[in-house]
Amino acid sequence: MTRIGKFTLRLGLYGVVFLYLICDLHFCKGPLSRQFRSGDPNTPEAIARARELGVVAVVYGNPIKRSQLQRAVVERLWLEGRSEADLNPELRKMVRYAALDDLIDHDLLRMKVKVNAEAFKLTEEEMDGRFRRFTERFATKEELAAALEAQGGGSEDDLRERLAARIQQEKYVESRIGPKTVVTDEDARKWFDEHRDELKTPERIEVRQVFLATLDRPADEAKTVLETALAALQDKSRDFATLARELSEDSASKERGGALGWMTRSRLPADFAEPVFALSPGEPALVRTKLGWHLVEVTGRKPEEARDFETAKPEIIAALAALARRQMITDFRNELRKMESRAITIYRDVVEEGLEKPAR
């Protein structure tokens, strides 16, 4: 065959292959099309397969199951003292995605820790300490078991595994962000100079009271009782502590002689703070609030005080370091998610199933 003939034949074969590819991929939906589409997580086939297997996401080929997500949701809400039954569908959706984000980050960090396992070994002392701090929240083993069940189930061994993984991941994150969270004296001084007024110790008064509620009693009756008590104080026939123990309906203070301790305006209701802060020490008086009548005496007063830098520095450094750490952790997780985005598949249709009714 001549050179021109070979070229013509080759060109014809290329054309046939090209036409086949066009037909398979765009018109006939043949085997090549199905092969390409099988790797697309957004196809109906992929979503149906994920739903069948109960998979909400895949990270580096490792599936995150719907049961894992539900457990993470229950645990997150348990820590906040809530349940899914307390949430409307929109909030339930937000919590699910927040919990899924944590699970995805956990898997990404787990892979990083696995690759660097030798650098982030866990000691028995660390594990025992974390486990002890967790279990000390509960008075009995039964309470611990009930709490684990409320978080989605699991044994104490499961709990130890989760805690161990969390410690190793914390070590990994710390190795990446630790040096960036150091707060210098210069940083603290700059913050102090810009927020000096906020650090002032506000005016405080030391207060004691005898309180009678007026919710279930005529206000005039309560006032008359306390007017009699005030007269007894003024003629020194009775002392304040005795009157508080005998008459006061404030159970938190009556056994302490009515003492409320040192207080700032911000710690008191406005209808109580304004008249009480206007009193002079040692001059008991009657005060009316929406709750009832109070026989009140100011026993001490301290004016507003400015704080010097050296006194405030440890507190400022700790606060700035905590803020920097939280931001660094957020930035690190976002950057890790961005770098590993190709390794993450989320089946949103599966995640959002059943939002109208909380899972049981």
C-alpha Rg value of the chain to the nearest Å: 34
CB-CB contact of 352 with 93 (8 Å)? yes
> 171 vs 65, which has greater pLDDT?
65
- Residue 110 has what pLDDT? 81
How far is Cα 280 from Cα 70, in angstroms, rounded to an integer?
A: 59
The pLDDT score that the predictor gives to residue 37 is 42
**Residue 239 confidence (pLDDT):** 94
With H, G, I as helix, E, B as strand and everything else as coil, classify residue 269. Answer: coil
Comparison of pLDDT for 278 and 11, the residue scoring more: 278
Instruction: Return d(Cα 267, Cα 295) in angstroms, integer.
Output: 19
Whether 296 shows a pLDDT value over 60: the answer reads yes
CATH architecture of the domain 201-302 equals Roll (3.10)
Task: Tell me what percent of the residues of the chain surpass a pLDDT of 90.
Answer: 34
Range 309-320 average pLDDT: 90
Give, in order, the Cα–Cα distances in Å from 266 to each of 201, 272, 352. 12, 11, 44
Average pLDDT over residues 274-291: 94
Highest mean pLDDT among 63-67, 268-272, 285-289, 309-313: 285-289
Q: How confident is the model at residue 22 (pLDDT cuts 50, 70, 90)?
A: low
Measured between alpha carbons, how far is 34 from 210 in angstroms, rounded to an integer?
82
**SS3 for 301?**
strand
Place 207 in a pLDDT band, splitting at 50, 70 and 90. very high
Whether the predicted pLDDT of 183 surpasses 70: yes
Does residue 20 register a pLDDT over 60?
no
Question: How far apart (Å, rounded) are the C-alpha atoms in residues 288 and 292?
Answer: 6
The pTM of this model reads: 0.50
- What is d(CA 343, CA 60) in angstroms, rounded to the nearest whole number? 5
Q: Which long-range contacts (CB under 8 A, 24 or more apart) does 234-239 make?
A: 234/284
Which residue has better confidence, 80 or 228?
228
Angle formed at CA 164 by CA 162 and CA 170, multiple of 5 degrees = 100
| pLDDT for the residue numbered 28 | 53
pLDDT confidence band for 285 (50 / 70 / 90) = very high
Q: What is the pLDDT at residue 25?
A: 41
Nearest-angstrom CA–CA distance, 168 and 243: 59
Q: What are phi and psi of 354, to 5 degrees?
A: 75, 25
Count Cβ atoms within 10 A of the Cβ of residue 26 and give its class: 0-12 exposed, 13-18 middle, 19 or more buried. Answer: exposed
CA distance 102 to 255: 48
pLDDT higher at 304 or 44: 304
Of the candidates 265, 266, 248, the residue with the CA atom closest to the CA atom of residue 257 = 248
Beta carbons of 32 and 25 less than 8 angstroms apart:
yes
Q: For residue 58, what is the enclosing H or E element?
A: strand 55-59
Mean pLDDT of the chain: 82
The band of 196, judged by pLDDT with boundaries at 50, 70 and 90, is confident
Q: What is the pLDDT of residue 31?
A: 52
| Position 307 pLDDT exceeds 90 | no
Q: What distances in angstroms separate CA 278 from CA 48, 62, 92, 275, one per listed residue?
A: 71, 67, 49, 5
- Asked if residue 16 has pLDDT above 60, the reply is no
Residue-wise pLDDT tens digits, 107-157: 888 887 877 767 777 788 888 888 888 777 777 777 777 766 655 556 777
Flag whether pLDDT at 56 surpasses 80. Answer: yes
- Average pLDDT (348-352) is 88
Residues of the chain with CATH 3.10.50.40: 201-302
Predicted confidence (pLDDT) at residue 98 exceeds the cutoff of 50 = yes
Contact 279, 290 (CB under 8 A): no
Identity of residue 148 = L
Cβ(304)–Cβ(203) below 8 Å: yes
- List the alpha helices (DSSP H) in the chain: 3-22, 31-38, 44-53, 66-79, 89-115, 124-135, 141-150, 156-177, 185-194, 219-234, 240-247, 270-277, 309-339, 348-351
Q: Is the pLDDT of residue 177 over 70?
A: yes
Cβ-Cβ contacts under 8 Å for 70 (sequence gap 6 or more): 152, 359
pLDDT of amino acid 81: 78
Distance CA 348, CA 56 (A): 7
212-246 tens-digit pLDDT: 999 888 999 999 999 999 999 999 999 999 999 99
